[in-house]
Amino acid sequence: MGELNPRNLPRSGAKPDEDFMAEYLLVSFKTCPWVQRSAISLREKNTPFEFRHIERDNRPDWFLAISPHRKVPVLRVDDSVSLFESGAINEYLDETIAPRLHPEDPVQRAINRAWTDYVPTFAEHVTGVAYADDEAAGKSCLDKIPVAFERLERALEKQGAGPLFNGAKYSLVDAAYAPFLQRYFFLDRIRPIGQIAKYPRLKAWADTLMKRPSTHSFPEAEFEQLYRENVKRRKKWLSQFIADVAVAAE
């Protein structure tokens, strides 16, 4: 296995003083929201980890050997176990590292898990416009945003006062939604969508999460620029509204 061991490979861009052996290695594409969800959990648990960014179009052999679906994130633990799927990774982290982000109450835990299960649908509705081929498809994606927002608004109403999903205590639900709420704001700044202001609880929750340091893997402006470059590079309908970035050919 030596050759496929990610530790044996030179780390691009690593400075000598960063060259530590982390117990946790999180393999990522820089702008992947699912990776971000696991990175957030590690940061909320104050757990140091090595962030290893690979390129979507050039996935190394060592990565393909440890990622059954060829997707990121993969969390390599103690250089011996490779976990995949951000939801499973976060459950594992929560079972093994304090502080617990799941609530103690089993009913609340079930509710939290249920809302975390809604994330893929929420993501598809809220960020689908970035993948639309033309204006009609774009408009039909945008029409789905209020459905997702309304559901979360109602869920937050039942949860109570905020500012986080479970009130004062950070949970895995916060970690799961933060990357997609952040992308809504990015999209809204590419071409105004103007939906979130209609959902005051959701807006307050999103604002709280955007201010939370754990949400951010990179400086915010730099990350938004990377996101815009990705959208522009896709050459979909929304790309035309990004005039201000030069996108390097891949």
Ligand X SMILES: N[C@@H](CCC(=O)N[C@@H](CS)C(=O)NCC(=O)O)C(=O)O
Binding flag, residue 170, ligand X (CB under 6 A): no
- Tokens describing residue 197: 């202001």
Residue 43: CB minimum distance to ligand X, A: 17
**Contact flags string 77-96 toward ligand X, x per CB under 6 A:** --------xxx---------
User: Beta strand pairing status for 81-84 and 24-28?
Assistant: unpaired
Span 38-77, contacts to ligand X by CB under 6 A: 70-73
Nearer to ligand X, 30 or 201 (CB): 30
Q: Specify the residue, 72 or 111, whose C-beta has the smaller distance to ligand X.
A: 72
Taking the least distance from each CB to ligand X, the nearer of 204 and 223 is 223
Interface residue with ligand X, options 24, 29, 62, 186 (CB under 6 A): 29
Q: How far apart are CB 103 and ligand X at their closest, in Å?
A: 21
List 6, 22, 25, 34, residue binding ligand X (CB under 6 A)? 34
Cβ count within 10 A of residue 237: 20
Strands of 74-77's sheet in order across:
50-53, 24-28, 74-77, 81-84
CB-nearer residue toward ligand X: 70 or 234: 70
Tell me how many degrees the CA angle 193-158-146 measures, rounded to the nearest 5.
Answer: 20
* Tokens of residue 177, six digits: 């939604």
- Closer residue to ligand X, CB minimum distance, 28 or 195: 28
Cβ-based neighbour number of residue 68 at 10 Å: 11
CB of 201 to ligand X, least distance (A): 25
Cβ closer to ligand X: 73 or 138?
A: 73
How many residues of this chain bind ligand X (CB under 6 A)? Answer: 10
> 172-190 and 119-127 helices cross at what angle (nearest 10)?
10
Q: Binding residue for ligand X (CB under 6 A) from 22, 32, 39, 42?
A: 32
Q: Using an 8 Å Cβ cutoff, are 85 and 27 in contact?
A: no
- Provide the H-helix boundaries in the chain: 33-44, 61-66, 86-96, 106-117, 119-127, 135-142, 145-159, 172-190, 200-211, 220-234
Q: Give the interface with ligand X as residue ranges (CB under 6 A).
A: 29, 32, 34, 70-73, 85-87
